Amino acid sequence: MDDKQPLFRVLAGGADGSQPTRRAALPRTPLRVVRTPVIDNRPPAVQLDLFSGLPSERASMLGVFALPWSFARPLRGLLDKFRPSWLVDLRPLNWFEDGGLKREHVFEMFRIHQITYCNGSFEFGIESRDDPRIASGEIARQLCTYVNRNERRLVGPVVVLVSDPALVEPVLQTFPSILKPSPPGGWRPHIFDEKTLSAL
C-alpha cells in the first residue's frame, strides 16, 4: 500500500485499494419498545389515613410538632396539605422566616385555610423553650380559657408547635385529658415529624 495514498481512499476501498463490492441491504425490522414495570418496594412516606380521614376522625386529632431549625418545607406541608383547624404555637419566639418563607406568607395561609392561630408567647407569656408550665399541663388549662374567649369553637385537627423535641411526649400526656371541649371519644394524639411533613 502506497504510504502517500490518501487515508480516505484506503478506508473506502478494499485491502488492495480497489472499489468495495456493494452489499445487499439487510431488511429493516421495526424496533419494539418494551416497557419494564418499575416495582417500588419502599414503604409509603406518609400514613394517608392520618391526613385524609373522615371529618369525624380529623376532628379528634391532636398533634404535636417540634419545629426544626430549617422548617419552611414541613411547615408548608402542615398548612397547605394537612390544614389544621387550630395551630397553637408554644415557641418563645414565633419565627416564621425560613427558606424564602415570610411571616406574611404564613398568615396568608392561615387566612386562606381558615386556621385559628394562637400565639403562646403573647397569650401565655412563654419566654423559654422548656417552660415547665407546658409539661405540667398549666398551659393546656390556660388554652382552655383562651378557647372559651375565642369566637371559633375548638375542633380538630389541632396542632401544637414546640421548640424543644423533649416537650413532645409531655404535651401528648397532658393536653388530651385537659383540653376542652373534647370531641366524642376524646382526643387522638399524634406526633408529626419533619420527614412525614416534608413528604407531603
Over residues 8-58, the pLDDT tens digits come to 343 344 444 445 445 555 555 554 544 444 443 332 333 434 444 555 678
Q: Is residue 107 helix, strand or coil? A: helix
For strands 86-89 and 158-162, give the pairing.
parallel
Residue 35: C-alpha distances to residues 28, 38, 184 (Å): 22, 9, 51
Q: Quick one: pLDDT at residue 34?
A: 44
Q: Quick one: pLDDT at residue 98?
A: 82
Q: What is the pTM (predicted TM-score) of this model?
A: 0.70
pLDDT along the chain (200 residues), means of 10: 46 46 52 44 37 66 84 82 91 85 90 94 92 94 92 89 92 93 90 70
CA distance 151 to 24: 88
101 DSSP 8-state letter: B
Q: Quick one: pLDDT at residue 72?
A: 80
CA distance 86 to 157: 7
Q: Quick one: pLDDT at residue 15?
A: 44
Return the domain boundaries, the chain.
54-198
Q: Quick one: pLDDT at residue 29?
A: 53
